[in-house]
Amino acid sequence: MIAWAGDSIISSLGFTTEECYRSVASGQSGIRLYSSFMGLPEPQMASLIDRERLADSFAADSFAAVNPCSGGYTALEKAAILSVGSAAAAAQVDLSDPDVLFVFSSTKGNVHLLDEGERQAGRDHIYLWYVARLIAEHFKNPNEPVAVSNACISGACAQLVAMRELESGQYGCAVVVGVEMLSKFIVSGFQSLKALSPEPCRPFDAARAGLNLGEAAATIVYRRVDSEDEVSSGIALQQGAIRNDANHISGPSRTGEGSFRALQALLRGVAPGDVAFINAHGTATAYNDDMEATAITRAGLQATPVNSLKGYFGHTLGAAGVLESIISARALANGTALATHGFKRGEKEPPVNVTDKNTHTEKAYCIKMLSGFGGCNAALLFKYVKEKSNTCRKP
């Protein structure tokens, strides 16, 4: 079994998981209108990490001072290092132990460095494998890290890579860190697809107009245990599935085929009635939300509460799977199905049970769904169990 040992989030809503979760539970969104945005001519709705707070936190952090990079760190690398350090402290894990594996998730990494005018760091910082290695080496970890980049399902893929490595017995702990920082390159790409909303996004709402982009660094520390009695934080990653339908490079399958098959794989041995809630990808684009509603209905989960966290954090791309898993796991442990920020009930409602307010639940399971460009789809199943010990075990 793969147990949750610790976590940490840095986002527009705070620099700890607790700070971010409290903001979400109280209905606060980190999405703001920025009139001047990275040299683009149009104002943008986005969810951004406070750069000044990030710099100050990094300068004051004990982990940051241990092994500084000779060429300096980018903002993305600083956010990742801070998040990893906090999660490791919560999990009481020695990151220099060869029993610990680093798994890094991002879709774009330091893509802004392709612009010569933006290049404050060396050219190697452009490569995801280099950033993954830089983070692992910062904590003096001797293992070659794994870099995962598979569109917007990257955060789920990274967790499944960690799960398989732990189940193989090669490692006792895995650190999964997902991070994304926005740049002119990223925003312009989504603008070209006409996918961005000029107002705060409204997942699953009939009047939704597109997505808002966001930034985050989020980390989960997983460890392999032999039974539920050893699960430390009350959460275990039970299983996951990735299904590719290859429908279109940017458009989701209208029948939700890949997403449906991923859900179908998760529900083997788990009754739909045992699922507390589904945290959908919920980007607030017309086709994504329709596709997910179709897949959820086909899987027999139409009565299960469904929420999206995009109205709080924006779409954080390669960090979304990790960030939203953390918030969902915390909600499950607290017995809460969180509200979908921006969704309002009306005459035309989706065929699934979208939450418009926080509701109580005593059920043991939750599902995290993700979908991405190229027809990739993923789903993760988490279980809440009793809290026990909190130490890493070697295989």
The count of domains in the chain is: 2
Average the pLDDT over 223-246 and give the result. Answer: 85
Report pLDDT for 314. Answer: 98
User: Do 98 and 83 fall into the same domain?
Assistant: yes
In a domain, 123, yes or no: yes
Structure tokens at 77: 């690398």
Bridge partners for 379 per DSSP: 241, 369
Asked whether the predicted pLDDT for residue 329 surpasses 50, the reply is yes
> In this predicted structure, which of 32-36, 172-176, 219-223, 323-327 has the lowest mean pLDDT?
32-36
360 noted as active-site residue: no
User: Do 321 and 197 fall into the same domain?
Assistant: no
CATH of the domain at 367: 3.40.47.10
In a domain, 389, yes or no: no
Sequence-ordered strand ranges (E) for 255-309: 275-279, 305-307
Confidence of residue 61 (pLDDT cuts 50, 70, 90): confident
Residue in this structure with the two tokens 């070659």, named with its chain if needed: 144
In a domain, 184, yes or no: yes
Asked whether the predicted pLDDT for residue 70 surpasses 80, the reply is no
Domain that holds residue 206: 2-230
Report pLDDT for 117. Answer: 66
- Examine the fold and report which residue of 230, 262, 285 is the final residue of a domain before the chain moves on: 230
Report pLDDT for 394. Answer: 43
In a domain, 285, yes or no: yes
Sequence-ordered strand ranges (E) for the chain: 2-11, 32-34, 44-47, 100-105, 146-148, 173-180, 213-214, 216-224, 235-244, 275-279, 305-307, 336-337, 353-354, 359-360, 365-372, 376-384
Q: What are phi and psi of 147, to 5 degrees?
A: -105, 125
83-141 per-position pLDDT tens digit:
999 999 999 999 999 999 999 999 999 999 988 666 666 789 999 999 999 999 999 99
Structure tokens at 241: 């599935």
261-305 per-position pLDDT tens digit:
999 999 998 999 999 999 999 999 999 999 999 999 999 999 999
Q: Which one from 112, 138, 315, 341 is the annotated catalytic residue?
A: 315
Report pLDDT for 230. Answer: 65
Element (H, E) at 130: helix 128-138
In a domain, 393, yes or no: no
Average the pLDDT over 17-46 and give the result. Answer: 94
Average the pLDDT over 352-356 and give the result. Answer: 97
Asked whether the predicted pLDDT for residue 42 surpasses 60, the reply is yes
315 noted as active-site residue: yes
Asked whether the predicted pLDDT for residue 53 surpasses 80, the reply is yes
User: Do 330 and 193 fall into the same domain?
Assistant: no
User: Do 177 and 273 fall into the same domain?
Assistant: no
248 noted as active-site residue: no
User: Do 260 and 358 fall into the same domain?
Assistant: yes
In a domain, 178, yes or no: yes
Report pLDDT for 154. Answer: 98
In a domain, 35, yes or no: yes
Give the contacts of 139 (CB within 8 A, at least 6 positions apart).
63, 66, 67, 84, 85, 88, 95, 96
User: Do 118 and 253 fall into the same domain?
Assistant: no
User: Do 50 and 182 fall into the same domain?
Assistant: yes
Q: How far is 206 from 227, CA to CA, in rounded Å?
A: 44
> In this predicted structure, which of 88-102, 227-241, 314-328 has the lowest mean pLDDT?
227-241
Q: Which one from 152, 157, 201, 366 is the annotated catalytic residue?
A: 157
Asked whether the predicted pLDDT for residue 393 surpasses 50, the reply is no
In a domain, 358, yes or no: yes
User: Do 246 and 221 fall into the same domain?
Assistant: no
Confidence of residue 395 (pLDDT cuts 50, 70, 90): very low
- Examine the fold and report which residue of 176, 198, 230 is the final residue of a domain before the chain moves on: 230
User: Do 188 and 103 fall into the same domain?
Assistant: yes
> In this predicted structure, which of 85-99, 105-119, 154-168, 346-360 has the lowest mean pLDDT?
105-119
> pLDDT above 90 covers what percent of the chain?
83
Q: How far is 102 from 186, CA to CA, in rounded Å?
A: 25
Q: What are phi and psi of 279, to 5 degrees?
A: -95, 100
User: Do 41 and 64 fall into the same domain?
Assistant: yes
Q: What are phi and psi of 293, to 5 degrees?
A: -60, -40
State whether the Cα torsion 207-336-24-42 is positive or negative: negative
User: Do 345 and 197 fall into the same domain?
Assistant: no
Average the pLDDT over 340-349 and give the result. Answer: 91
- Examine the fold and report which residue of 181, 214, 230 is the final residue of a domain before the chain moves on: 230
Asked whether the predicted pLDDT for residue 39 surpasses 90, the reply is no
Q: Which one from 112, 125, 138, 281 is the annotated catalytic residue?
A: 281
User: Do 85 and 106 fall into the same domain?
Assistant: yes
Bridge partners for 118 per DSSP: none
Q: How far is 61 from 311, CA to CA, in rounded Å?
A: 30
> In this predicted structure, which of 94-108, 226-240, 301-315 has the lowest mean pLDDT?
226-240
